[in-house]
Amino acid sequence: MSTFTGIAHIAVVVRDMAASVDWYGRALGFEPVGEARPGPVEAGHPRQIMHHSGSGLVLAVHEPLRRSDDMFDPSRTGLDHFSLAVSGRAALDGWARRLDDLGVPRSPVRDAGYAEFISVPDPDGIAWELWAIKEH
């Protein structure tokens, strides 16, 4: 059976490209690397590609020309949240301090038993979580 070798990218749909690109840069450390060219089945809407140098994760930020302008809702069928792993509790605390210093709203550190995590909503309410798996 074939297997996956990693995540190629994560794509999010946003209401305001500039605000979201700014937030992803400030809050999570992604850097813009260029606009994506539309493929043969794309509607031609603007897409900014961002890269996180520490993890290699690629984020595609989409602003469709025809969009609903509503906020993200995790109770709707589809995506609930994105979860990113950090190296441990010290790294999680470092992220919490960074977000606090930037004035970015976040949850308190939560304990899920096997891991501790914080939740961070982007400007459209898309939930991102930073997880530190506990060592056994």
Domain membership of residue 54 (yes or no) is yes
- Residues paired with 131 in a beta bridge: 85, 117
CB atoms within 10 A of CB 30: 23
Give the pLDDT score at 51.
94
pLDDT (tens digit, 9 = 90+) per residue, 112-125?
999 999 999 999 99
Domain membership of residue 110 (yes or no) is yes
Please tell me whether residues 89 and 125 are part of one structural domain. yes
Domain membership of residue 3 (yes or no) is no
CATH of the domain at 50: 3.10.180.10
Beta strands in the chain (DSSP E): 10-13, 31-35, 47-51, 58-62, 82-86, 110-111, 115-121, 127-133
Domain membership of residue 4 (yes or no) is no
Domain membership of residue 112 (yes or no) is yes
The domain tally of the chain equals 2
Domain hosting residue 125, numbered range: 82-133
Please tell me whether residues 52 and 92 are part of one structural domain. no
- The pTM for the full model equals 0.82
Q: How many Å apart are CA 42 and CA 87, to the nearest integer?
A: 37
pLDDT (tens digit, 9 = 90+) per residue, 48-63?
899 999 899 999 998 8
Listed as ranges, residues in the chain with pLDDT below 70 are: 1, 3-5, 36-44, 67, 77, 136
